[in-house]
Structure 1
Amino acid sequence: MKRLLTVLLLCLSFGQFANAATAWYQPTPYPKSVIDAGATKIPPLVPHITDGWVNNWFGPIKSFQDTDQLKIGGYGDIYLSLLNFSDLAGLPQQVDNAYVYLYSLPRGGANPSQVALHQATSLWGTSVIWGDPTRSGAPAEPYGPPLPSLGGGYAYSPAPGENAWTGMWITPFYNGWKNGTYPNYGLMVYPNDGNNNQFDYFISSDSTNDGGRPILRLDFTPTLDLKMPLPGNHKWLVTTEIGGYDCKGDYDSAHDDTISPTTGNPLNNYFSIDFSWRNVPDAGATVYTGSSDIPIIAVAGGKVIIPADSGPTFPNGNYVVIDHDYDGNLSTGFTTRYIHLKYPSPVPSGQNVAQGDQIGVMGTTGQDANGNPTSTGVHLHFGVRYGGSGAKTIPEITKVMMDGWLLKSFQTECLNNDWNRYYRSGNRVY
């Protein structure tokens, strides 16, 4: 079944862009990997999110439980959950407010538990054990990797309702993780007011109910408002996320800040996304196939620049850059890049375009120095740069919004080892 991401009431709310917006970042659990205490976390093995739960009494569940639920509470014993938005690269550097939202499930007749949220201050992993797993009620040390140590925290009242979202304010934690004040070791979710048959159950990142997975709500002032570079009235498949990851476990260094093997210079391409020709049209909309001339359209107004290395025998193939401050200097302000186009752009270099104007056709052009293709199928490699760079260290790009989503939100999900997550374009209809 295709994942058709539509904008729900919860998933998008805006003030005026001159003031502030709210982004709802709901990461997929990919790329999935085991990150244990002491392990080296290097791209592309950092998952977007790691979460699970443990219990302090029953032996079989003292080890970390990576299931489709998070649990807190207890009945004489204690259940707690651990949650880490492990990969914060590409998210806004500083926000006005940050919240974690969890979706609660029915308690099965148990009493509700008030939630406490604490900042973890030491590394933990999916091999954590809360005591001796062979004995009920055994003390917590020295068995296995321990629970993380804790810093400050907050209690949230009232207790969560059933089948409802609960938002918990974590602004100091988030901003501290992003500015380096604190290492990002995530959060512990704990029952705050007893364990007398009191339980809360939440949907975890591993649930097939992708609309109920944990959300990071971020309030900030966006730097640029874009529409997707593909026709409206369609949902378009994403096959490569910013940073080069996808749900199949593949990694494409052309979407990251790695060093170019041909020039020796940083690629500075972290903020780039691959959109496939595969799409889901609304009723009555134009039907596009892999052999169609699918329009590539401007995400915002600007001046068209055709670089000197645009052409089918260059690595980027036919491509276009739009300079959104209109000064013709690609080293200043925001620019967007549209790569591997089927034909040279029909828009001459130096001409201004408006949001939604067609600047090309989706294709698969491009060759390396040995004549090998740099594109293996019809798609659009789309990128955003600021000051000439698309590196993950550029804070201005982290606050770019595209059709109501952060660039980081354009993530992949797989079914039967095939991509199946589609995003709706709000751009001009063709």
Structure 2
Amino acid sequence: MFIFRKQSKPYNEKVHYSINMILQYMAEHYDQKLTRKDLAHKMGFHESYFSTFFKQSMGMSVTEYIAQIRIDEAKKRLLQTDDQIQIIARQVGYADSLYFSRKFRQKTGRTPSQFRMNRRPERIAAFQFVGSLVAIGIEPVCIDEETDLHSDILKEHLASSLVINEHTPDDVFKSLQLDVIIVPNYYYSKPALIKRLEQIAPVLVLPYAGHHAVQEVLSIGRLLGRENEANEWVKRFEQLSQQARNSLSSFREKGETVAIYEMRGHDKVYMWSYEARGAFYLYETLGLKPPKAILEEVLLPNQHTVIPLERLGEYEADHMFFIVSDQYGWYRQMDKRMEESDVLRQLSAVKNGTFYPVKLEEFRFDEGERALLLMDRFVSQLTQPAYPTIVHM
């Protein structure tokens, strides 16, 4: 079994890499002619194997997936532009606008013109992106359980939001009289759920991760008819970011290093690159200095890295934000775990009182308003006097 797992791992990583490459290519070329044969050839697969592999990975055929992303791109154009239907059809890869309209109605239950009528939705269900919605003044009518679990930092902004899940009955969804449902693009692997949600309200599929908070807020603001609100928030973001940098000017002069880590299980430590856990705002927006090892192995290649806990000392910073889950007891038992771990106890940051355990439930997402709240946490912790004790945030 050990040999089997060791030999299987590279194959599994290759499969994961292959499907990501395929999806990226399709996302960049959906407006062009895409055939199963050509896609298989580009990715080095036999055509029949490619079809099976794709459907097993995504839950839908290649043809169905291409249609899905084209329709979803068309939705964005319908909401953000006054372009004629036939122009939008060509922009997303359909030469025949009548065929496009039939396909659109088949997928959404609405004509393109009907979809376009609701350009400033008020009643919104959010499967993620709540930080960006809050930034433009929207409190979602409902949010999913996973988002709620990791939204401690936004609790006061979501006090009235109903918590739902994939098993919430349709009649409950319909009773909410939703104008739009927003889901992340990894929901493409749940085609049955997207189809079900489309029967309740129009669905917008948005890209998850990889965007600066400002870019995402502006994009969502345009989609939801709140461009002015988005622009005002961007001004606020720039003002508060500058204030935060000014607050840390003396800290930066010291040249001390700072980094974010995340503990998973009992022996794995994740070090995140710019696209997660507030790392971009710590290193770039606030201009703080990472340890050399993290700079060279994580940030410059922009690649998340996982190490065993026993190697953490090789990547330690003068100030360490250490993310742990409250859901599984890590955060509440942090003092005990510190006592039991020789590796953690020996860290200079622990000895100097500059080791800061933080909740995954607050740090998992960093979009929109969350980015400002995370930066405020960074600043308040780094500017407080250090004491050689364990400090919880």
Q: Same fold (TM over 0.5)?
A: no
Q: Relative contact order, CA 8 A, sep 6+: which one is greater?
A: 1
* TM-score computed with the length of structure 2 as normaliser: 0.29
Structure having the larger proportion of residues in strand: 1
